[in-house]
Structure 1
Amino acid sequence: MTTESPRILLADDEETFRKATATLLEQEGYRCDSVQNSEHASRLLMSEHDVLISDIRMPGNMQFEFLRDVRTRFPLLPIVLVTGYPSVQTAVESLRLGFTDYLLKPVDWPDLRRAVADAVKKTSLVRMTTSVREEASRLVASLEHLQDTLPQLGSGANERELAWSLDTFLAQSFSSMAVLSSRIRSVLTSQMQGHAEAPTDVCRMMECPRLAVYREALEGTVEVLEKTKIAFRSKDLGLLRAKIEQLLREDI
């Protein structure tokens, strides 16, 4: 599957800077949408954009109104500010609104290139983290359903088929989580070069609010398997229970 290049929105009323910067960004492999005022930028900006590069003093943003609106609509979008009129007021407002970078014109291209690259990594990490959260929620829901279903199974159920279904379900679920964890770790590793090794425990790294529910569902599954071990005298089910208990001991 082909991955699309990061998409940048560049908003600046200075034509020479806007065109030159857009060309340089495209040469770096980015997709770049460029507009000359905040009104056009506001209409064009969407969740698919990875970064916003914006001038401060341009029509529609003389009092930061455009940028405040963007921060409200897209609270996690990295915003790189460029300005030829620096002031304490704009610097303080930039910090308050949590903008990614504040660069002075004439902007040195290496500085802007670095700022954009860092911002793209941040967006990638945010999207992957969101994906992991969604996957974790789906997994918890599946485990809760499994916990509710097991007690309803009668003693006439096919033990091997049941064990295979449970084992396959868990293998697929944890495999999916492992892939997502690996992707996030790769982003963190590249973003934190020269720092301590990135954490590998994705759920703890995100302070996942459903970690307790996740563990409870697994513990409930083990408990049900323990209670039904007499009705289901199966080596496969015993191995399945041991596998889940091992996961719990590893403090997933």
Structure 2
Amino acid sequence: MSDRQRALIVDDEPDIRELLEITLGRMKLDTRSARNLKEARDWLAREPFDLCLTDMRLPDGNGMELVQHIQLRHPQLPVAMITAYGSLDTAINALKAGAFDFVTKPVDLARLRELVASALRLRAPAREEAPVDNRLIGDSPPMRTLRKQIAKLARSQAPVYISGESGSGKELVARLIHEQGPRAAHSFVPVNCGAIPSELMESEFFGHRKGSFTGAIEDKQGLFQAANGGTLFLDEVADLPLPMQVKLLRAIQEKAVRAVGGQQEITVDVRILSATHKDLAAEVAAGRFRQDLYYRLNVIELRVPPLRERREDIPTLAEITLRRLGESSGLPPARLTEEALEKLKNYRFPGNVRELENMLERAYTLCEDDLIQARDLRLADAPGAGEGGEASLASIDNLEDYLEDLERKLIMQALEETRWNRTAAAQRLGLTFRSMRYRLKKLGID
């Protein structure tokens, strides 16, 4: 064979093999063909390949066995599954087993060429080993595991559901999966599903045509079109209303969207990553989230550990945060006293890394002589800082004032965690929007 990139085609139908050989040949790839599992394994043992395309049904087994064989013996080789139209469960199982992507019969050649191009970008020398990203801070065992999982998931096109508490870094994890994968040259489009008014959701996701509704003064591109070729990150996906969940499911399954007021569907090539701080399985059980959409989004789940499970990373996180604060203000970075650092290590951080950063920013403005004392952290005032999260009776002079102060702190924390989205903050606290608006006015929070 020549020095051109090589593909292994595994299918027992001669017409399909010939179609794939011609298509890949026009893309300047050399190909080898196998009619069954045994021939495929023989080729893999004899020659190196840059891509493998395999049918699901084979005379002596199935494509899933080949996916598992490649995962074990040739983990750097992208393998794509060819499935019958409508066999979505089969495709999802293939992705879970480690397949890079899938294509359905009858084979759409444009879709096939996109898949092949993406797979070959994974084999480019520059991506053989992804560089360590300095935005994902920490060297604790949970963080080392997380980095390995990100690197592995970046090689796939499977939808990933990123679970984790507010402030733990779910969007950063999603960005790293995108940037380390074959879609890195295209857009990463994040969207907070809880921040879009329900009446505008369809227009935001799918776009609209001029004149399709009052205020539509020009054509507008939707988020799916903006992310075409790249990644769409659905943050707080549990906040999507049920009618929008139906439309989102269809867009993901059909890989096509129709703008509001539009007549034709537009094909889109988008990888979906999603996240929420809620328990999505519990939302399904409660009837607030569609089970079919849950299974479509949660092909692979990636859990981001909370800060309290990696306390050994707190000193490094604190040092880097304080250095950044110093650089942005043009002043020397502040240092933490041993007592202050010990206080941080023993705090539960319900708001995770975001809460740590906000806490250090406040302490940085309060400290003297560039030295942050334990009192500057104001941990004694923080919710959950006491033993078992309980307040000491000796520390309360007036119960009404104490409860009002605690209410203000919790509302401020919810607002910070939701980036001042009042609707999302109200949901976080289990309040109606009317009740939230009343409390903000009562407490003088603008």
TM-score by length of 2: 0.29
More helix by share: 1
TM-score by length of 1: 0.49
Bigger RCO of structures 1 and 2 (CA < 8 A, at least 6 apart):
1
